[in-house]
């Protein structure tokens, strides 16, 4: 029983965290012809973290969402180990811009890393590049 509980705890931890090596700097709003991230299922026009009263606010806008079953914002103090701080379950496909505002209430370091991960209806998943954010003072 003890081993089963330990195994379940590891599975839950791995399901909500991710390892990623690519890091980029935050982007401002992009033109219609370019975007922060784009593939066949998801397009993100911009992703911008900002300081708000000791917390980090992550603003991002999707251009379209197709066959998406879950959108997550991942955060961490290392670009190689990120955990989910926000989840959204879209109810249908969207071809209109949607704005999201997510707050990281407990940033763990002065330099934080953020990424968007998504799951598809067929069980596949994808993720954006990692954004590096220096919180400052």
Whether the per-residue pLDDT at 55 is higher than 60: the answer is yes
Give Cα separations from 100 to 24, 48, 63, 84, 103 (angstroms).
20, 11, 11, 15, 10
3 φ/ψ angles, rounded to the nearest 5 degrees: -65, -40
Domain hosting residue 23, numbered range: 2-134
Give the confidence band of 8 by pLDDT, cuts at 50, 70, 90: very low
Q: How many domains does the chain have?
A: 1
User: What's the pLDDT at 17?
Assistant: 76
Taking alpha carbons only, the member of 18, 17, 22, 52 closest to residue 37 is 22
Q: Which residue carries 């993720």 as its tokens?
A: 127
For the stretch 98-113, pLDDT in tens is: 999 999 999 999 999 9
CATH number at residue 76: 2.60.40
């Amino acid at each position: 029983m003890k081993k089963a509980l330990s195994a379940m705890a590891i599975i839950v931890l791995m399901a909500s965290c991710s390892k990623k090596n690519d890091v980029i700097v935050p982007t401002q709003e992009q033109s219609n012809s370019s975007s922060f991230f784009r593939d066949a299922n998801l397009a993100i026009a911009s992703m911008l973290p900002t300081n708000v009263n000791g917390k980090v606010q992550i603003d991002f806008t999707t251009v379209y969402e197709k066959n998406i079953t879950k959108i997550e914002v991942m955060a961490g103090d290392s670009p190689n180990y990120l955990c989910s701080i926000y989840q959204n379950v879209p109810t249908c496909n969207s071809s209109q811009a949607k704005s999201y505002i997510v707050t990281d209430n407990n940033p763990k370091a002065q330099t934080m890393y953020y990424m968007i991960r998504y799951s598809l209806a067929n069980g596949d998943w994808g993720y954006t590049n990692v954004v590096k954010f220096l919180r400052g003072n």
